[in-house]
Structure 1
């Protein structure tokens, strides 16, 4: 669960207001419909300048016309800006991110294999012809490889593929949904409750924008081998070619995922990720009023985020930052520093202004294991605390023998 390090950077929360994005017709076909031809590269519309507001910290942030949104830094888990980030809302097919994540984790563990045959049961089968169906179109009782089914979920947004995989891995869809909710709790998705594997309308199927960003980060981090699937622009199965519905994959080369969603109740949703100059951001849009709006609003967030923030590394992992005094050790001090890389996201231009201060525990007694926490480091800029990280012993320290400990104790008496 992220972030590993506590961040005290202000998390602006912006109340959604009237930002009307011009409604252009996208080149992608309807998100829940009959078989679609592969999407052709749409022309990127020049979005209007977004409306802006100022948050409580004086930061100018976008105003977007939807029910909830977040912009999160991947490395740290910091929310750079948000609106209603913790409101549980219908996630539509963004639900399928948990379905695909569990499939990917089952692949990693060896529980299933890429070429395992997955059967399209009657309960999972897409009957077709009904407006709103989103299907991979595997025939009834036919089998497709697990990897084809996974692509059917991620790229084609197939309800049928989602249910078939749920039955294959969970024994039944309800059994798989229980796994989904267990994993959601494990990831810290506290405002999320899944009711089915595909995101079909159900009053008990809810997720927050923040939780969906956390899930997206888990996919990127823990399913790295399979994450490139989320950037694939089309998928063909059984002679049917379907295009990925994430319009940004065709217009922004820095975007490499993740998932779209739409129902009448949920509106148009999009979870996306972009990486520019080594910095990865994740955005979630919920309940926009059109496919074009969700894409344009995501572009606004990415452009705003990269224009206003940068990464800072206050200290390098493994470097000696201080020497901690040790009692009853074979040596009087032990080197202290960071066990893991530490990155902060700061307003543009403030990386050079970041300062650090280290506080070590007053009583460090041997034996000490390498990696034991013996203090903390705090980063500040312009007098404001940005974050903190644990300082650890960079080496083992053995406990001294009896006579050496006695000597140290006597010396300590006379030094008081």
Structure 2
């Protein structure tokens, strides 16, 4: 049985590298689970960034070394500083001896060299440069130790449970994460438009043209709608890729860790993006006007209260299923004062077959006090005055 399973996996790998699912009749008969199993990578995940929903995954919660992908957290912290105004792309950074001592990949920064923060950011996002990462971290946080502390703090805020940073470059074997955590990080990074051009750049130069940057993520040249993000490799981590792309309202982040071949790693990332966009779409229930009609209030200072669902966020559903989604709605006929603002007064439930795919609570949009003797007396006096 083991021989047959290995043969099956080998055939699937040939399919992945040689043809699209829609073009291969054999592939159409293969389950998604078998296809994911056949992909030669240690961890795989595809996540819809807007919703955080996992679309596909294989072994995505296993702690492993992540090599240069650690730099993505440093880039996120830099983007936050740029947004807040604490960092400017035109900032001049003085290169330290520590940054100068970093191993390849690098842009060969000299000790005491002056370079802009933007060039360092380019060198990190496009070229994985270790010396640039250390120089930028020291400029923003004063030291790499302080930078690592902030990187770990941010990881906790993003609920990246298995992520631990021991350095800013990903060279330390104690710098670890998993595919699921890395997808959360990618989903946060795509919110910063200022980074998109850097992540999508194929080739650039810094240091007055002396250092060339070449993006290892070849999908930036070929994949429609790509927005980033980073590819890297090391003996411990293997070939790794984080790729994000958008199509319509969907934004998808794919993480591939521990692949043995660069081309296969790219192919897996592309297939997962294709599968995500082909097999899923975003759905938000339509709200009819009567759902938002005011609800009468008994015994209150006001006769009715407005209601709202608040902001309705989309969910990813199988493509073509939106027409068959069953929507049920319940709403209180009348409320008794006192009524609190935000009080639950109804519920919307969307089902696809027997599966509940969406729930939203209807809540009051104002408070209504209970009638008091003083209120009733004032109303009576106003009525008498009008007469």
Same fold (TM over 0.5): yes
124, 133, 140: which is aligned to 2:99?
A: 124
Partner residue in 2 for 1:36: none
Question: Structure 1 residue 151: deviation in Å?
Answer: 1.0
Q: Cα–Cα, structure 1 residues 365 and 176, in superposed 2: closer, same or farther, change >3 Å? A: farther
The answer on whether the counterparts of 2:179 and 2:257 sit within 8 Å (CA) in structure 1 is yes
The answer on whether the counterparts of 2:123 and 2:213 sit within 8 Å (CA) in structure 1 is no
Question: Structure 1 residue 139: deviation in Å?
Answer: 2.1
The answer on whether the counterparts of 1:342 and 1:389 sit within 8 Å (CA) in structure 2 is no
Question: Structure 1 residue 316: deviation in Å?
Answer: 4.9
Q: TM-score, normalised by structure 2?
A: 0.83
Q: TM-score, normalised by structure 1?
A: 0.78
Q: RMSD of the TM alignment (CA)?
A: 3.0
Q: Cα–Cα, structure 1 residues 205 and 278, in superposed 2: closer, same or farther, change >3 Å? A: same
82, 86, 91: which is aligned to 2:61?
A: 86
The answer on whether the counterparts of 2:36 and 2:58 sit within 8 Å (CA) in structure 1 is no
Question: Structure 1 residue 378: deviation in Å?
Answer: 2.3
> Matched residues in 1 for 2:358 and 2:212: separation?
48
Partner residue in 2 for 1:216: 186
Partner residue in 2 for 1:265: 236
Partner residue in 2 for 1:62: 36
> Matched residues in 2 for 1:118 and 1:87: separation?
37
**Residues 30-41 of structure 1: pairs in structure 2 closer than 5 A:** none
Instruction: State which drifts further: 208-217 or 306-315.
Output: 306-315
Q: How many residues align?
A: 360
The answer on whether the counterparts of 1:316 and 1:342 sit within 8 Å (CA) in structure 2 is no
**Residues 6-405 of structure 1: pairs in structure 2 closer than 5 A:** 18=9, 21=13, 46-47=18-19, 54=31, 62-63=36-37, 64-126=39-101, 133-202=104-173, 204-221=174-191, 223-238=192-207, 239=209, 240-316=211-287, 320-321=291-292, 323-324=294-295, 326=297, 328-359=299-330, 365-366=337-338, 368-369=340-341, 374-393=345-364, 395-403=365-373
Residues 212-260 of structure 1, C-alpha deviation per residue, up to 9 Å, x if partnerless? 1111111112x23333321122221122222211110111121120111
Question: Structure 1 residue 52: deviation in Å?
Answer: 7.6
Q: Cα–Cα, structure 1 residues 51 and 380, in superposed 2: closer, same or farther, change >3 Å? A: closer
- Describe the SS at the equivalent of 2:199: helix
Question: Structure 1 residue 318: deviation in Å?
Answer: 9.8
- Describe the SS at the equivalent of 1:256: strand
Structure 1 gaps of 5+ residues are 1-16, 23-44, 408-416
Residues 45-77 of structure 1, C-alpha deviation per residue, up to 9 Å, x if partnerless? 85475698547xxx7753311111111111211
Question: Structure 1 residue 372: deviation in Å?
Answer: 5.8
Higher relative contact order (CA 8 A, sep 6+): 1
Give the number of the structure whose residues are more often helix, by fraction.
2
Q: Cα–Cα, structure 1 residues 179 and 65, in superposed 2: closer, same or farther, change >3 Å? A: same
Q: Cα–Cα, structure 1 residues 127 and 194, in superposed 2: closer, same or farther, change >3 Å? A: closer
Structure 2 gaps of 5+ residues are 1-7, 22-26, 378-387
The answer on whether the counterparts of 2:49 and 2:187 sit within 8 Å (CA) in structure 1 is yes
* Structure of greater Rg: 2
Question: Structure 1 residue 172: deviation in Å?
Answer: 1.0
> Matched residues in 1 for 2:361 and 2:172: separation?
44
